[in-house]
Amino acid sequence: MSGTRHGESKEAFLARQRWADRRGVLLLGADGMLGRAVAGELRGRGWGFAAPSRREFDLANARTLERATTWREPEPPGLVINCAAWTDVDGAETREAEATAVNGGGVASLAGLCFSWEALLVTYSTDYVFDGQGSEPYQVDVPRAPLNAYGRSKAVGEEAVEASHADWLNIRTSWLYAPWGKNFVLTIRKLLFEKPSIKVVDDQRGRPTSAQHLARTTMSLIDRRMKGHWHVTDGGDCTWFEFAREIGRLAGAPGRVEPCTSAEFPRPAKRPAYSVLDISETERAIGEVPDWRANLADVVARLE
Ligand SMILES: NC(=O)c1ccc[n+]([C@@H]2O[C@H](COP(=O)([O-])OP(=O)(O)OC[C@H]3O[C@@H](n4cnc5c(N)ncnc54)[C@H](OP(=O)(O)O)[C@@H]3O)[C@@H](O)[C@H]2O)c1
pLDDT of 47 higher than 90? no
More confident residue, 112 or 8: 112
Q: Which of 31, 34, 100 to mutate to test the pocket of ligand 1 (most atoms within 8 A of CB)?
A: 34
Domain assignment present for residue 2? The answer is no
Domain assignment present for residue 159? The answer is yes
Domain assignment present for residue 101? The answer is yes
Residue 209, strand partner residues:
176
Q: Provide the sign of the torsion angle of the four alpha carbons 124, 44, 51, 175, taken in this order.
A: positive
Q: What CATH number did the domain enclosing 81 receive?
A: 3.40.50.720
- Ligand 1 contact, 170 CB (< 6 A): no
pLDDT for the residue numbered 294: 98
Yes or no: say if 28 and 82 are a contact pair by the CB < 8 Å rule.
yes
Q: Which residue range(s) make up the domain with 280?
A: 10-300
Domain assignment present for residue 5? The answer is no
Question: What is the count of structural domains for the chain?
Answer: 1
Domain assignment present for residue 181? The answer is yes
Domain assignment present for residue 1? The answer is no
More confident residue, 65 or 141: 141
- Ligand 1 contact, 185 CB (< 6 A): no
Which residues fall within 8 angstroms of residue 279, CB to CB, at 6 or more apart? 137, 207, 231, 232, 233, 235, 289
For range 160-169, the mean pLDDT: 96
- Ligand 1 contact, 86 CB (< 6 A): yes
pLDDT for the residue numbered 2: 33
pLDDT for the residue numbered 249: 97
> What is the rounded CA–CA span in Å between residue 162 and residue 28?
20
pLDDT for the residue numbered 16: 57
Model confidence band, residue 201 (pLDDT cutoffs 50, 70, 90): very high
Phi-psi region of 181 (alpha: psi -120 to 50; beta: other; left: phi over 0): left
Measured by CA distance, the residue closest to atom 38 of ligand 1 is 54
Question: Hey, which bits of 17-74 come out as E strands?
Answer: 25-28
- Percent helix, strand, coil in the chain, to 5, is 45, 15, 40
pLDDT for the residue numbered 15: 61
Catalytic residues: 150
Give residue 30 CA to ligand 1 midpoint distance, Å. Answer: 9
Atom index in ligand 1 nearest the CA of residue 184 equals: 3
Domain assignment present for residue 3? The answer is no
pLDDT for the residue numbered 19: 56
Question: Residue 272: which of 155, 175, 156, 128 has the closest Cα?
Answer: 128
For range 188-197, the mean pLDDT: 97
If one counts every other C-beta atom within 10 angstroms of the C-beta of residue 244, the result is 27
